[in-house]
Amino acid sequence: MSDDDDRLARVALTWLAEPGTRSVHALVDQLGPVAALELLLDGGAPEQWLRSAVAARCREGDPRAVAAEALACRERLGVRLVTPDDEAEWPPQLDGLRRMVLRGATRRVDIETAPPLCFWVRGAWPLREALTRAVAVVGARAATAYGVHVATELGYGLADRGWTVVSGGAFGIDAAAHRGALNAGGLTVAVLACGIDRPYPMGNAGLFDRIAETGLLVSEWLPGAEPFRPRFLIRNRVIAAATEGTVLVEASARSGATQTFNRAVALHRRPMVVPGPVTSAMSVGAHELLREQPSARLVTGVPHVLEEVGRIGVDLASPARAPQRPRDTLDDEAALVLEAMPRRGVIDVDRLAARAGVTVRTAMRKLSLLEELSLVHRRDEGYALTTPARAPTPPRAEVMGPLHDDPGRPANGR
Amino acid sequence: MSDDDDRLARVALTWLAEPGTRSVHALVDQLGPVAALELLLDGGAPEQWLRSAVAARCREGDPRAVAAEALACRERLGVRLVTPDDEAEWPPQLDGLRRMVLRGATRRVDIETAPPLCFWVRGAWPLREALTRAVAVVGARAATAYGVHVATELGYGLADRGWTVVSGGAFGIDAAAHRGALNAGGLTVAVLACGIDRPYPMGNAGLFDRIAETGLLVSEWLPGAEPFRPRFLIRNRVIAAATEGTVLVEASARSGATQTFNRAVALHRRPMVVPGPVTSAMSVGAHELLREQPSARLVTGVPHVLEEVGRIGVDLASPARAPQRPRDTLDDEAALVLEAMPRRGVIDVDRLAARAGVTVRTAMRKLSLLEELSLVHRRDEGYALTTPARAPTPPRAEVMGPLHDDPGRPANGR
């Protein structure tokens, strides 16, 4: 059996049954794609519904001929087929799709799902490399100006630091995230729920061309496949599995984006949510996830996202969530004592304790702490504030300017 | 010793040492206010700093004379003094201030604090009754239009359901919360950090008059006391302790409102945070709390707040956080099956399974569930969707319109 036979069988199988069908993937695992296809075409599918589905498809055409025709279009469409046999290019993290456990509010659900059998790919980057350090940014199609702004900044900032921005190519948040990444000269991947030759929606055709020029368009479906609604759900598992974390920017109550998000949770990827105005219907779904999904992490910008998905020493200048200024580590009593210090000159402990409204013992204990942090220093007559030059305050850009770059962190070029 | 001697002593003690001073409160607990005052004036304070503070005060005036003068102004100022001896009017929940444990990110801090010795009160409501069902709404002075809108709606909605809205009378969020409550014809209490005769800020003088007409102005300090900065921190403990929960609406990084919030956490009151646009500097502190304070609960409006502080059966029509529609309880596979049901007519299980992309066994299991929830029903030839009339969908106003009233819930008049 040649490599071409394998590819043809994989394509035929995705035409016979929707991608992600667990029993089909199990057959391919056991028998290889060619024998699995033969078994299905001989009416040997293990389940009645699959036998019916295969029979129905075969009335529409010969699966091998359909697959061969699709493969023959590759050059004309400027696309290639990537399969798990292309080991250098297949993203290993998709193997996580062999089992997903969705946890609802009240019960645990094992969703039977499966990794893709193959991808149609348009664009020059090797797929595996493009998805090596990737974050998904997803959200509402009917995004607000706020959501579009936030998604664009996230796409820009992540791409600017060498992260691939993955999304679904939809209107609204998806498109904004792709555009942000493109504007940064970075890498972005659109995972489609339809044929790669007819990316949906048509209104984003120009965007899809730009993505393919510098990034990748990817689809599990044959060229010409229509974007039926259930396919978005199937596609979302790939967005979640291919990335190290999913950032949800805007979502109305129970939107499709929250499904991608729940898949990210089920796959143990980092689930992140950007909050928004509570007056906006487009943030209701985001706030719902933050309230109901215990593992959802609130993020306000690129530095928070990198805290979740980045590797210490590579993406972060300091351990995640460490206090940035000595002052921030202070408990309330130490803060009171520091507050009570005169701006200039020296104060003795008794007077300081009285000003701070604490006991002398507490004042002395807290003064040791403050001295250790170089915030005060001891003189013969008492204590004095350390001048700012002696206690440098690193920038807190990750908190103060959530959506802007922190110049204190190294950029990570690819 | 008369009741008047006790009152005079309490007032003198709050003049000698700032309210909330633990050792002074401990003396009052042991000896009663009159003897505690005598001990302090005789130089018998247990701590050196307190002896110094008392001596310094006594050089400014005779504490008993100062207190007597203040008490003599009560009628002219239209205020009264309420002490723990006024058992019918003293709010018992303030006793929680005997011990607060603040938990920082890295350590646990026992803050020595104490309940108030007395309150100056302006307004007709009995203090205890006014604070029986109370929620604090606090936030930034430099609030944005968004924050002001949210705080006003919260103040209105909470007051409209019979909850007292407590805040600090400051510009911005505080004032908006008070105004919202007033607009609803509800009860609001401003806890001041200065003399009750000179409420700060002056720009809110008209608001303070309106509050006193239908609600209460409250202060621990003598008339004439200035709003020194440390007094806000001392005052904040009362706002936190007097209420069943604190809602933080807007806060810049490390603002004073976050201190009230941390006190609410320390006192085991419900700590709630309204998120906002991540592009707004005035929501940075709110988002910080949601990220760093594990007990902080994201709320988007009155129904969420009532879920936290309300009593089931009184404030809530249904248990907190229960799913509102049968549909919302569905796992992904059941949702797929429901989605695959034809809008009209009957479908057999095999065809349905093929449409949904699930096994027949799964389809049958999920159909039982859907039948149990009255979403589908069995007919001779298969299954059909139940018409909406048979599966009523209660309104989900608490999610869809977070800041508007849910007509499905009973109003709770006081």
Residue carrying structure tokens 């879920």: B307
The residue of B23, B278, B349 whose CB has the most chain A CBs within 10 angstroms, and thus the best one to mutate to test that interface, is B278
CA dist., res. A46 & res. A25, Å (int): 12
Q: Write the DSSP assignment of B155-207 as a string of letters.
A: HHHHHHTTPEEEE---TTHHHHHHHHHHHTT--EEEEESS-TTS-S-GGGHHH
> How close is the nearest chain B Cα to the Cα of A209, in Å?
31
- The confidence score (pLDDT) of residue A42 equals 96
Peptide bond into A201 cis (omega under 30): yes
Those of residues 32-51 in A touching chain B at CB distance below 8 A are 47-50
CA dist., res. B147 & res. B283, Å (int): 9
Cβ-nearest to A49 among B56, B336, B353: B353
- The confidence score (pLDDT) of residue B304 equals 96
Closest CA to A139 of A243, A244, A272, A238: A272
CA dist., res. B360 & res. A82, Å (int): 32
Q: Return the domain boundaries, chain B.
A: 3-72, 93-309, 326-390
Beta-carbon separation of B357 and A18 below 8 A:
yes
Interface TM-score (ipTM) > 0.90: no
Contact B233, B259 (CB under 8 A): yes
CA dist., res. A381 & res. A378, Å (int): 8
B4 Cβ under 8 Å from any chain A Cβ: no
Number of C-beta neighbours around residue B5 at 10 A = 14
Three-state DSSP at A95 gives: helix
Residues 6+ apart with CB under 8 A from A328: B254
What tens-digit pLDDT sequence spans chain A (414 residues)? Answer: 577 999 999 999 999 999 988 889 999 999 999 999 999 999 999 889 899 999 999 999 999 999 999 999 999 999 999 999 999 999 999 988 887 665 544 445 555 579 999 999 999 999 999 999 999 999 999 999 999 999 999 999 999 999 999 999 999 999 999 999 999 999 999 999 999 998 899 999 999 999 999 999 999 999 999 998 888 888 999 999 999 999 999 998 877 778 788 888 888 899 999 999 999 999 999 999 999 888 999 999 999 999 999 865 555 544 334 344 566 667 777 888 888 888 778 888 888 887 887 777 888 888 888 887 778 888 777 888 886 543 333 333 333 333 333 333 333 333
CA dist., res. A49 & res. A39, Å (int): 15
- The confidence score (pLDDT) of residue A111 equals 57
B295 Cβ under 8 Å from any chain A Cβ: no
Residue B105, pLDDT > 50, answer no
List chain A residues with CB under 8 Å of B358.
49, 112
B348 Cβ under 8 Å from any chain A Cβ: no
Contact B382, B352 (CB under 8 A): yes
> How many interchain CB pairs under 8 A, A with B?
176
- Supply the DSSP symbol for B269: P
Going by pLDDT thresholds of 50, 70 and 90, the confidence category of residue B396 is very low
Q: Sign of the C-alpha dihedral, residues B35, B38, B40, B46?
A: negative
The two structure tokens encoding residue A35: 């024998």
CA angle in degrees (0–180, nearest 5) for B87-B88-B94: 60
CA dist., res. B354 & res. A189, Å (int): 31
Residue B393, pLDDT > 70, answer no
Statement: A93-309 belongs to CATH 3.40.50.450: yes
Contact A317, A410 (CB under 8 A): yes
List chain B residues with CB under 8 Å of A281.
400
b/e per residue B52-90 (b: at least 16 CB within 10 A): bbbeebeeeeebbebbeebbeeeeeeebebbbbebeebb
The two structure tokens encoding residue A253: 């109550």
The two structure tokens encoding residue A183: 């504007």
Question: Greater confidence, B99 or B10?
Answer: B10
- The confidence score (pLDDT) of residue B189 equals 98
CA dist., res. A166 & res. A130, Å (int): 10
The two structure tokens encoding residue B111: 């803050």
Residue B158, pLDDT > 60, answer yes
List chain B residues with CB under 8 Å of A326.
none
- The confidence score (pLDDT) of residue A115 equals 95
CA distances from A293 to A269, A273, A301, B33, B149 (A): 14, 10, 20, 52, 28
List chain B residues with CB under 8 Å of A254.
328
| Residue A327 identity (one-letter amino acid) | R
Going by pLDDT thresholds of 50, 70 and 90, the confidence category of residue B397 is very low
Mean pLDDT estimate for chain B: 85
CA dist., res. A17 & res. A23, Å (int): 10
First to last CA, chain A: 39
Residue B74 φ/ψ, nearest 5 degrees: -50, -50
- The confidence score (pLDDT) of residue A406 equals 36
CA angle in degrees (0–180, nearest 5) for A381-A383-A386: 130
- The confidence score (pLDDT) of residue B303 equals 95
List chain B residues with CB under 8 Å of A46.
none
Going by pLDDT thresholds of 50, 70 and 90, the confidence category of residue B406 is very low
Kindly compute the dihedral angle of the four CA atoms of residues A142, A145, A146, A150, in this order, to the nearest 10 degrees.
90
- The confidence score (pLDDT) of residue A391 equals 35
B272 Cβ under 8 Å from any chain A Cβ: no
Q: What is the CA radius of gyration of chain B?
A: 27
Lowest mean pLDDT among A144-158, B86-100, B275-289: B86-100
Helices (runs of H) and strands (runs of E) counted in chain A: 18, 14
Contact A306, A270 (CB under 8 A): no
Per-residue model confidence as pLDDT tens digits over B295-331: 999 999 999 999 999 865 555 543 334 344 566 667 7
pTM: 0.75
Those of residues 186-215 in B touching chain A at CB distance below 8 A are none
- Supply the DSSP symbol for A387: P
Closest CA to B82 of B23, B114, B122, B113: B122
Strands A188-192 vs B119-122: parallel, antiparallel or unpaired: unpaired
- The confidence score (pLDDT) of residue B315 equals 56
Statement: A326-390 belongs to CATH 3.40.190.10: no
Residues forming beta bridges with residue B376, ordered by sequence position: B385
Three-state DSSP at B400 gives: helix
Residue A5: in which H helix or E strand, if any?
helix A3-16
